[in-house]
Chain A
Amino acid sequence: MAANFQLPLQCLQYLEKRGAESQRFLIASSGGKIYSYAAETGQRLSSWPQDVDASNANNSKATETETGSEDQAPPEKKRKVSPSEEGPAETSKSTVKASTWSSIPCLVAHSNGDYVIALTAEDKCVRVLRLKDDGTLEQLSERCMPKRPCSIALTDDGNTILCGDKFGDVYSLPLLPGNEPYVAPKLPNRPKVPSATPLTVHSKRNLESLEQQLRYSQKNSTEEKNSLNFQHQLLLGHVSLLTDVAFVTVPQDDNFGKKRSYILTGDRDEHIRVSRYPQAHIIEGYCLGHTAFVTKLCIPQYAPGYLISGGGDDYLLVWKWSEGRILQKVPLVKQESETTQVTVRGIWATSIGGSNIVLVALEGSSNLQCFVLGSDGTLKPQDPIEMSGNVLDVAIMEKDSTIVVSVDCIREKGSTHEWRASPTSPSNLIESFRVKPGTENLEWEPVTESLVTNINMGGSSGIPADADTKQRKELNDVLYSLGNLRKKHGEDD
């Protein structure tokens, strides 16, 4: 039998626990699971959700997936588990089963190192996990959002989660919900009569609407139905599809010690909006300059006055975001060619050895582009780093001058859908690079220590090399969905 492919690490985060002795972890999502690793050795410390315990073992459906890294069955096989099948209702918090989701498209490490915020795809849940000293993960809360979230950010005090969803809304949620049960604010009793009467309807267009409403009101006529059973606040909304949320706090020049916070949001219709936080209904400005959808907003911690944005354009824009002013348009492809469409998958900023570095990955590209951000806000291109597979995510260990890159070991380099002929053993789940000290230009050297070998040896979940076309497509779509944001013109009225 052919060897298995290993499911790539979709998201990768570095965490440092601030305790008596500092502990360092890498956290990765892969399929429906989250792994934690010791950042020094690459030793895998845990896999979440935990393996099914014995009492549930009679549920053959559940055992299919939870067999650890030697797993032969693809965990992303979707199984519909009805509540009755899920066993006792009061399953303890720590035994969450990865049965209702097949991927974790978003993972955010809390700056104090104690928490990880994860987004599970199909059930639209924001999950806060505690990272314990031994590296195991315990779920503290699960909050299912009304619409599929697409981006998660934390406020700089770390106490609030900002969650943007596909329908354009941004909610704020407390990181740790209070102990008291949530009481939804009472809605005033509004009479549930149709909003239109024959007196108010003067045209065919309104008449149609009224008929719809009458039909509808027989079923359910409550508007703004408030079904979230946890504390939350709707901060702002775009009519366009929202793609990314960023939070930034800047000191005021003229007012020593005073700070102001803003929330930046990007959407599919090329907009970047700058709103006050928490009074997000006050729009401070827009950064308008993209001609295609926006996918990523990056505000470097070392230069919070600048914004680097990218998306479906073949360039990045560097902004003085508070003025909506473009400082630089940075090309991402050598020659502008009509045929290649690029999509920015990630923008990461870090400060290593005195250099302010910006890293950029395009969707379905094995090339990690490197730039140095000058004090005037211009990006100077450096030599890129070539990976063994498409770049998926980057975790940065600033203290070690090291980056850890998760790469796609299933698809061919440069493709979002073509699979390799056969898996290599072990598969490259990650690669790591260190800034060469004492060189004038930014130069990287590969890290070969146990961190890399152990993570790659350890593998993830196996995907049979003979997976059929349908399954392959499903797996491709989980990892590479940004291209769908591009508008297909011609479907007009």
Chain B
Amino acid sequence: MSTPPAKRQKRDQYRKRAAAAANEDTGKVKLPQKKFYRQRAHANPFSDHQLDYPLSPAHMDWSSHYPAFVNPDPEQKNLAGARKLLKDVEVVDIGCGFGGLLVGLAPLLPETLMLGMEIRTQVIEYVENRIQALRTQQNQLKNSSTTASESPAPAIPAEPATDGASPDAASTPETSNSPVPGGYQNISALRSNTMKFFPNFFGKQQLSKIFICFPDPHFKAKKHKARIISENLNAEYAYALKPGGLLYTITDVEEYHHWVLRHFREEGEHEASEGGVKDLFERVSEEELASDPCVEVMRESTEEGKKVTRNKGNKYVAVFRRKADPEWPA
């Protein structure tokens, strides 16, 4: 599948302009349109992509991701010589797609640094531009209310299209023209293959929440190794989560939901037996989830979640709490 050159050129031009415009401090800031960022549906998590990843978490330069949170002391540098932040990233959206979850969570946890990770290049480019545009909009709103000079025209929200073929009928403006707590300074995204490089970004017990929303189902049994939830990967997620931290999952595929429960040993042949990841995770009760606003964001703000709502599909939620490491056997 190759894109006709003319179309590709148009796309490239659009994306360049959008990236530049997202940074402009004056005039109308448009949010990027998704249709210019489409890409092949799947990227193989096993192949070698040309990915940037830090040598270790202590080598990661977060300063460009969260400029508002950079430590004011320029002497505070990490192992790679990059400026340190005032706090660590604590929330991660694995396979963040077009970033709907991050945008939804940003005002809920304005003081918490959150990161989306996504393997597809064009998709991540869209999220980056989207976040940049939102930040710029917010800055403008802030400035206009404080200086009360000539008020800039309200930002024109773009319609977030779907990544499917059909045009999105129910496109709604996603930004209000009022200031939002945190001004989207607390969210960012980067390209990565989380199945291979998660430990390069996050240290032991660094995270308080991990989200995995509408993961690619890989229905074919042969391809189940490509699923982003497995006992092996759950061990890595457990490593990065603080005791008490939460791992959120949502899927519209019933079988995948049961797969999730089995791989956290909440169901299936190992349910009763202790050991395995069951040492590390326990399922969070429905009552507790009812009062967790993150669950609502996961259901309704993700692009996939919206799609499922429109198609009147089911959504299956399972959330797990990281337990403390078990004692070493005596």
Q: Are B219 and A281 in contact (CB under 8 A)?
A: no
Q: How far is the CA of A280 from the CA of B164 in the complex (A)?
A: 40
Chain A binding surface SS class: loop
Stretch at the interface among A136-144, A234-242, A359-367: A234-242
In chain B, positions 208-226 with a C-beta closer than 8 Å to chain A are: 216-222, 224-225
Q: How far is the CA of A461 from the CA of B174 in the complex (A)?
A: 73
- In chain A, positions 449-493 with a C-beta closer than 8 Å to chain B are 487-493
Q: Which residues of B contact A186 (CB under 8 A)?
A: 269
How many whole Å from A4's CB to the nearest CB in chain B?
Answer: 40
Q: Is A196 touching B255 in the complex (CB atoms < 8 A)?
A: yes
State whether A283 touches B236 (Cβ < 8 A): yes
Instruction: Check if B254 is an interface residue, CB within 8 A of chain A.
Output: yes
Cα distance A196–B219 in the bound complex, in angstroms: 8
In contact, A279 and B55 (Cβ under 8 angstroms): no
Residues of the B chain whose Cβ atoms lie less than 8 Å from the Cβ of A271: 199
What distance in Å separates the Cβ of A264 from its nearest Cβ neighbour in chain B? 14
**Is residue A330 contacting chain B, with contact meaning CB distance below 8 A?**
no
B48 and A491 within 8 A (CB):
yes
Q: Helix, strand, loop or mixed for chain B's interface?
A: loop
Q: Is B313 an interface residue (CB 8 A)?
A: yes
In the docked arrangement, what's the CA distance between A213 and B55, Å? 38
User: Measured between alpha carbons, how far is A420 from B189 in the docked complex, in Å?
Assistant: 55
| Docked CA distance A212–B217 (Å) | 12
B55 cross-chain contacts in A, Cβ below 8 A:
270, 288-289, 291
Q: Is the C-beta of A448 less than 8 angstroms from some C-beta in chain B?
A: no
Q: Is B6 an interface residue (CB 8 A)?
A: no
Task: Please name all residues of chain B whose beta carbon is closer than 8 Å to the beta carbon of A196 when the two chains form the complex.
Answer: 217, 219, 253, 255
Q: Is A203 interfacial (CB-CB < 8 Å)?
A: yes
Return chain A residues, CB-CB under 8 Å to B232. Answer: 168, 236-239
Are B224 and A224 interface neighbours, CB within 8 A? yes
- Report if B156 contacts A (CB, 8 A): no
Query: How near does chain A come to B270, taking the closest CB pair, in angstroms?
Result: 9
B231:A281 contact, CB within 8 angstroms: yes
User: B275-289 toward A: CB 8 Å interface, digit per residue (1/0)?
Assistant: 111011000000000
For residues 127 through 185 of chain A, which have their beta carbon under 8 Å from a beta carbon of chain B?
167-168, 185
Q: Give min CB distance, B25 to chain A, whole Å.
A: 34
- How far is A209 from B234 in the complex, measured between Cα atoms in Å? 24
| A202 & B311 in contact (Cβ 8 Å cutoff) | yes
Do A282 and B279 have beta carbons less than 8 Å apart?
Answer: yes
Q: Smallest Cβ distance from B288 to chain A, in angstroms?
A: 25
- Which of B41, B45, B218, B326 has the largest number of chain A CB atoms within 10 A? B41
Task: Flag if B46 contacts A239 (CB, 8 Å).
Answer: yes
| A216: interface (CB < 8 Å) | yes
Encoded as 1 (CB less than 8 Å from any A CB) or 0, chain B from 299 to 330 comes to 00000100110110110000000000110100
Chain B CB within 8 A of A231 CB: no
Is B56 an interface residue, CB under 8 A from the partner? yes
Q: Does A187 contact B (CB under 8 A)?
A: yes
Q: Is A21 interfacial (CB 8 A cutoff)?
A: no
A288 touching B200 by the CB < 8 A rule?
Answer: yes
Chain A interface size band reads 35 or more
Of the candidates B165, B217, B222, B325, the one whose C-beta lies within 8 Å of that of A282 is: B325
In the assembled complex, which residues on chain A have CB atoms less than 8 Å from the CB atom of B44?
A: 493
What B residues does A283 contact at CB under 8 A?
235-236, 238-239
A290: nearest residue on chain B (CB-CB)? B55
Residues in B whose Cβ lies below 8 Å from that of A288: 55-56, 199-200
Residues A205 and B41 in contact, CB atoms below 8 Å apart? yes
> Please, which residues of chain A bring their CB within 8 A of the CB of B7?
none
Query: How close is A26's CB to chain B, nearest CB, in angstroms?
Result: 38
Residue in chain B with minimal CB distance to A271: B199
A213 to B216, CA, bound (A): 13
User: CB-nearest residue of chain B relative to A488?
Assistant: B48
Contact residues in A for B310 (Cβ distance below 8 Å)? 202
B158 contacts chain A at the CB level, 8 A cutoff:
no
Residue of A196, A223, A239 with most chain B CB atoms under a 10 A cut-off: A239
In whole Å, how far is A440's beta carbon from the nearest beta carbon of chain B? 38
CB proximity of A407 to chain B, nearest CB, Å: 33
- Of the candidates A188, A200, A202, A493, which one forms a contact with B49 in the assembled complex, judged by CB atoms under 8 Å apart? A493
- Considering only residues 38-97 of chain B, those with a C-beta below 8 Å from chain A are 40-50, 55-56
Contact present for A204 and B253 (CB under 8 Å): no
Report if A415 contacts B (CB, 8 A).
no
Contacts of B253 in A (CB 8 A): 195-196, 200, 206
Is there an interface contact between A493 and B121, defined as CB atoms closer than 8 Å? yes
* A186 to B279 Cα, complex, angstroms: 23
- A199: which B residues are within 8 A, CB to CB? 311, 313-314
**With the chains together, A238 CA to B50 CA distance in Å?**
19
Contacts of B197 in A (CB 8 A): 269
Q: Is A92 an interface residue (CB 8 A)?
A: no
- Given A195-B254, A239-B233, A282-B235, A203 and B49 contact (CB-CB distance below 8 Å): no
Set of chain A residues within 8 Å of B254, measured between Cβ atoms: 195, 197, 200
Q: 10 shortest A-B CB distances, which residue pairs? A: A195-B255, A213-B219, A237-B232, A205-B41, A288-B56, A283-B239, A281-B235, A223-B221, A239-B195, A209-B219
In the complex, 21 of the A-B residue pairs with CB atoms within 8 angstroms, ordered by the A residue number, are A167-B225, A194-B255, A200-B314, A203-B164, A205-B164, A206-B217, A216-B219, A216-B221, A222-B221, A239-B46, A239-B196, A239-B232, A239-B233, A240-B196, A276-B328, A281-B280, A282-B325, A282-B326, A286-B56, A493-B40, A493-B49
7 other A-B residue contacts (CB within 8 Å) besides A202-B304, A204-B165, A273-B199: A197-B254, A202-B164, A203-B164, A216-B221, A276-B328, A281-B276, A281-B280
> Which residues of A are in contact with B by a Cβ distance under 8 Å?
167-168, 185-188, 194-197, 199-200, 202-206, 208-210, 212-213, 216, 220-224, 236-240, 260, 269-271, 273, 275-276, 279-283, 285-286, 288-289, 291, 487-493
